[in-house]
Chains A and B, each alone.
Chain A
Amino acid sequence: MVVLEVSPISTEELWSSVSDHWVLGHPPDQGLSLLSAQFGRAVNVRDALNQAMDEELERDERVFLLGEEVAQYDGAYKVSRGLWKKYGDKRIIDTPITEMGFAGIAVGAAFAGLRPICEFMTWNFSMQAIDQVINSAAKTYYMSAGAQPVPIVFRGPNGSSAGVAAQHSQCFAAWYGHCPGLKVVSPWNSEDARGLLKAAIRDDNPVVFLENELMYGVPFDLSEDVLQKDFVVPIGKAKVERRGTHITLVSHSRCVGFCLDAASVLAKEGVECEVVNLRTIRPLDVDTIEASVMKTGHLVTVEGGWPQYGVGAEICARVMEGPAFNYLDAPAVRVTGVDIPMPYAKILEDHSVPQIKDIIFSVKKVLNM
């Protein structure tokens, strides 16, 4: 994260005012123009997703978007803003509130030669349609012995938001990450969002694309390379966001940012963290994780979802079963969301998700500091 000196208000005041805007998901117009003046093209995650979809819709006429409010409302979270105006009713389709029906329709369209992007307003609602995602999409290529591919992307915001309570805050990375036949990706920043969405749309297989609402308004610098129309981030490859030597932090989605913040704090105490951004949940890039653990000898996984049978649990199991185990100087541990339905009150919600101090605490415990 970048801190700017801007008069007349103090950095802290700017940071808290800007981060409030960003956390609530409204476009931080002030923030963007300030950043771009300093660092070149800053694009927030929402716009990165929007541009990726726009470019892929233009590139391949078989691509289309359907979901609730994606067209005339410009998207419940404005991710599809402007697309209906540009592409019209045929390619940007507003659906009734019938997830099972429209997810099935999307899969059927993929069977018959189109390349649908099916939006779930949040991944919580995908539970209504999960049979279509798993049984109709994920398993079909296998059941047909390769006769019937299913080139579909399911996308939408996943995990906790702010104040939306238990039924709207669940993380589905572990649920979908469990199933063969699916690719499951979980971008953190704008480069991830842009590159992974393009890769997902171009992939001939069902991709579960887990976004994060609290990241939509957060801007990141995108280089010219990243802004090229054919820029893709390969699915199945993690990225080392920060090199370090003492401990490996493995995370996905918004928690990657927290890991980097924790790493900055820990660096002042002489602890250098290596931060691995998974980018893809399934297939898991075990090689990158193992290489890092073999270098640092210590592992902490960080995720927003619940601990039991979660992403961190899988990472730890894989490290146990592979060559990296022999390099561990301490047991691997997980930092996760608290094992409860998400409460509403702010103080309770804040204490239900991993905070930077939780990551710092766990790192120090693992390093026996």
Chain B
Amino acid sequence: ALSLQGARMVLSTRFFTDFTPQASFDIKKCELHRLEAGPSETAVLTREQGLQYYRTMQTMRRMELKADQLYKQKIIRGFCHLYDGQEACAMGIEAGINPTDHLITAYRAHGYTFTRGVSVREIMAELTGRRGGVAKGKGGSMHMYAKHFYGGNGIVGAQVPLGAGVALACQYQGNNQVCVALYGDGAANQGQIFESFNMAALWKLPCIFICENNKFGMGTSVERSSASTDYFKRGDYIPGIKVDGMDVLCVREAIKFAADYCRAGKGPIVMELETYRYHGHSMSDPGVSYRSREEIQEVRSKSDPITMLKERMLSNNMASVEEIKEIDVDIRKVIEDAAQFAISDPEPPLDELCNHIFANDLPMEVRGTNPWVKLKSVS
């Protein structure tokens, strides 16, 4: 069962010098598969880290809620798969790896796009299909890229072999980097994932396979899709760890452990993050035909990752209520500004239509919709 650590709210004002610089938290022990020892059961959190994690997760939350709003206003169109509820996964992972490590995920990717370094402005403008979007409006929700971040992938499961390939490149180049390859509980039954497990284990690729188990693959609960729902064990011969994905510190300690394991040349490792999405599968899914509103409410009130972090910080005198409020106000401004940009930025120019077919190539001609329309394509 997912539950918050007990916390008391401290409501008096304090001077910054009074704040506790860091605290140690007991975190949930991870269930292990083929491992003698697992991630640390305590996590040290500094005030700076706490504030940073809070800011990042709250930004992700607000960004997704703003996307929801814009979608309902028909300013965002097509696919929009929102990540709210799962913020601790993206934040915890980023906190436990280096910027030079690599990450690839599926289509519920806005959170990771942000943690991997793309601004909210560029993300939102990509969602609204404008020229200021991170992919110049040509990719949309599922196809955003950054340095050492390979999207955003639309085909369920395809990103996992890709991630194993990135890990192969890390091993080949001897750069001591790892690749985190994420997939959902719905994707976990894909054959190509087991093909990736096999090759990663055979060749000892530095790949961390992570299943974000949010209990539902679209409208199909894990019990209805999977003969075995122990996703952390599905790697069979590959060691696995089951992690509380609502606790950012749990995720961070687990990924640190996993990254160390891979960097030591021991081969791949599988992680299952138990998490939850508040929204339906996508914006076209209300999300209540296959689960109850009560269930969603229960997770929100008892296991929300941002609330959990906030209460830890407050109850340990690592931040003040005012400070948190200020951060919230600041984030609201960032989101508003980004949304404004995303709405007002012009769409890509039509002469961009055929560009970026080939890299490092001479300009070429592309056939338009009829033989008299000859369009130009540059790299």
Contacts and interface: CB of A to CB of B under 8 A. Distances in A.
Interface of A: 64, 90, 93, 95-96, 98, 100-114, 131-132, 135-136, 141-151, 180-181, 183, 204-205, 283, 321-322
B172 interface: yes
A102 B195 contact: yes
Contact of B199 (A105, A114, A132, A149): A105
Interface in B149-194: 150-151, 153-155, 158, 160-170, 172-173, 179, 191-192
A131 B360 CA distance: 24
Interface stretch (B133-141, B224-232, B252-260, B276-284): B133-141
A146 B356 contact: yes
A261 to B, nearest CB: 34
10 contacts: A64-B172, A93-B203, A105-B165, A105-B199, A107-B162, A112-B179, A144-B356, A146-B356, A150-B359, A205-B359
Interface in B224-248: none
B135 A108 contact: no
Contacts, number: 150
A101 B357 CA distance: 25
Contact of B155 (A111, A131, A149): A131
Contact of B143 (A131, A144, A181): A144
B172 A104 contact: no
B361 interface: yes
B139 A95 contact: no
Contact of B139 (A93, A110, A145): A145
B357 A142 contact: yes
B33 interface: no
B202 interface: yes
Given A135-B154, A143-B139, A113 B161 contact: no
Closest 8 CB pairs of A and B: A108-B165, A104-B161, A101-B195, A112-B169, A149-B359, A145-B136, A108-B162, A105-B165
Contacts of B364: 283
B349 interface: no
B192 A100 contact: yes
Contacts of A95: 199
Contacts of B164: 101, 104-105, 108
Contacts of A141: 356-359
A145 to B, nearest CB: 4
A113 B198 contact: no
Contacts of B104: 108
Contacts of B161: 100-105, 107-108, 132
A111 B357 contact: no
B355 A146 contact: yes
Given A143-B138, A146-B355, A149-B360, A96 B371 contact: no
B359 A131 contact: no
Given A90-B172, A105-B168, A108-B150, A136 B158 contact: yes
Interface string B88-122: 00000000000000101000000000000000000
A96 B202 contact: yes
B164 to A, nearest CB: 5
A180 B135 CA distance: 18
A118 to B, nearest CB: 10
B196 interface: yes
Given A96-B199, A112-B170, 8 more contacts: A98-B192, A109-B166, A111-B169, A142-B138, A144-B139, A145-B135, A148-B150, A322-B371
B128 to A, nearest CB: 15
Interface string B336-367: 00000000000000000001111111001010
B123 to A, nearest CB: 14
A146 B203 CA distance: 31
A130 to B, nearest CB: 11
Given A101-B198, A104-B196, A109 B155 contact: no
B288 to A, nearest CB: 32
A143 B143 CA distance: 6
Contacts of A132: 158, 161-162
B145 interface: yes
Contacts of A90: 172
Contacts of B359: 141, 146, 149-151, 204-205
Contacts of B170: 112
A25 B357 CA distance: 37
Nearest to B195: A101
B78 to A, nearest CB: 13
Contacts of B168: 105, 108-109, 114
A94 B101 CA distance: 26
Nearest to B355: A146
B158 A135 contact: yes
Contacts of B297: none
Nearest to A106: B165
A145 B356 contact: yes
Contacts of B167: 108
Given A105-B199, A131-B155, A100 B191 contact: yes
Contacts of A112: 102, 150, 165-166, 169-170, 179
Contacts of A151: 359
Nearest to B165: A108
Nearest to A147: B145
Contacts of B135: 143-145, 147
Nearest to B154: A135
Nearest to A138: B357
Contacts of A93: 203
Contact of A114 (B136, B153, B172, B202): B172
